Amino acid sequence: MNSRILFFTLSLFIFISCARENEVNIYSSRHYDTDLELYRDFTEKTGIRINLIEGTSDELIERIRNEGINSPADIVITVDAGRLWRAKEAGVLQPHGSGYLNQTIPSEMQDPEGYWVGLSERTRAIIYNTETVSREELEGYWELADEKWAGRLCVRSSNNIYNQSMVASLIESRGEEQTEEWGVRLVNNFARPPQGGDTDQIRAVAAGLCDVALANHYYLARLIESDNQADLEVASKVGIYFPTADYGGTHVNISGAGIAANSPNRENAVRFLEYLATSDAQLIFAIGNNEFPVLDGLELPDVLSQFGEYDSDAINVAVYGVNNPRAIRLMDRAGWR
């Protein structure tokens, strides 16, 4: 029996008894095998057994709402601050009340009211074709709407949460009117209709279908570390650029977690969240998927070290959710499909 099946088997015991002294029930939309190492390490350190339920963020939120006060969920883990905001708004989270988390996690990486915390950082990078674009030409997200990039930009669709959160961030820093004007000009620079995922954007840049694209940094890291020769060829043809502070900084999103509203094992849930904010856990949680840890001073793997440091735009990630409805409407009006 492999480890993932084992965890799903263990999860069945949730419905036998919602509250046991030595367990914590995790609902996660992260589907990375490295997270299983986290769960094993926590159990070894504390003796607290982990029961795991996996699904998409929307599925898990709806499931917890339907389960109501009888929900066995203790911890909700998901990606993107916009989704964490949705979970909070849906009433499926409660404040963690942990002084350790408040002191350890940077304030811009957590909910101001303590309903969730960021546990790894995901940068929205500019990927460029190294043969057709000089690094010195690159500036910031705002400048991608300039005429010089006409017909040269690849992006995902507007229904992608990563793009929605980036636009929500720009609304916060630039205002809605200016951001809409930017959106219209950006759409005019698309090399093709939005399609595919982040990896598809990188492949398109390498193939010469466009010269620049937006993608989360870890998608390129996966290609660089791939055993597939085609992936390595793609990675060899592109570069990665993080907008500097001079151009507004780099958009940073998160993977994060919060305590479920009706957690039957709240004390264990707090212990688990605090564990995720330790150096040992950060090395597993963040670096296992080539995300940047939220804690400073940790030794990064070679691929992330090669990417270099980045200047965060320093915007509290909670606004991505607050501004999400406005961002969606704005992108629609701008013609970003």
CATH number of 3-121+252-299: 3.40.190.10
Handedness of CA 20, 24, 29, 31 (dihedral sign): negative
CA–CA distance, 127 with 104 (Å, rounded to integer): 32
User: Phi/psi at 91 (nearest 5 deg)?
Assistant: 80, 20
pLDDT digits (tens, 9 = 90+) for 184-200: 999 999 999 999 999 99
pLDDT, mean over the chain:
92
154 in Cβ contact with 212 (< 8 Å): yes
CA torsion, points 162, 154, 243, 123, in degrees to nearest 10? Answer: 30
Q: Choose the weakest-confidence range: 56-60, 88-92, 221-225, 298-302.
A: 298-302
Q: Looking at per-residue confidence, does 21 or 13 come out higher?
A: 21
167 in Cβ contact with 179 (< 8 Å): yes
pLDDT above 70 as % of the chain = 94
What pLDDT is recorded for position 34? 84
Q: Looking at per-residue confidence, does 272 or 5 come out higher?
A: 272
Average pLDDT score over residue span 116-135: 97
CA–CA distance, 319 with 12 (Å, rounded to integer): 36
Q: CA-CA distances (angstroms) from residue 284 to 37, 50, 119?
A: 7, 16, 11
Give CA angle at 293 (111, 255), nearest 5°: 45
CA–CA distance, 231 with 224 (Å, rounded to integer): 7
**What is the location of CATH 3.40.190.10 in the chain?**
3-121+252-299, 123-250+311-334
CA torsion, points 322, 153, 308, 108, in degrees to nearest 10? Answer: -10
Pick from 155, 169, 182, 180: nearest CA to 253: 169
Residue 141: pLDDT above 80? yes
Average pLDDT score over residue span 86-102: 97
Q: What is the DSSP string of 4-64?
A: HHHHHHHHGGGGT-S--TTEEEEEE----HHHHHHHHHHHHHH--EEEEEE--HHHHHHHH
Q: What is the DSSP string of 126-138?
A: EEEETTT--GGG-
Centroid of chain to Cα 294:
12
pLDDT digits (tens, 9 = 90+) for 28-67: 999 888 899 999 999 999 999 999 999 999 999 999 999 9
Residue 108: pLDDT above 60? yes
Q: Report domain 123-250+311-334's class.
A: alpha beta
Phi-psi region of 52 (alpha: psi -120 to 50; beta: other; left: phi over 0): beta
pLDDT above 90 as % of the chain = 88
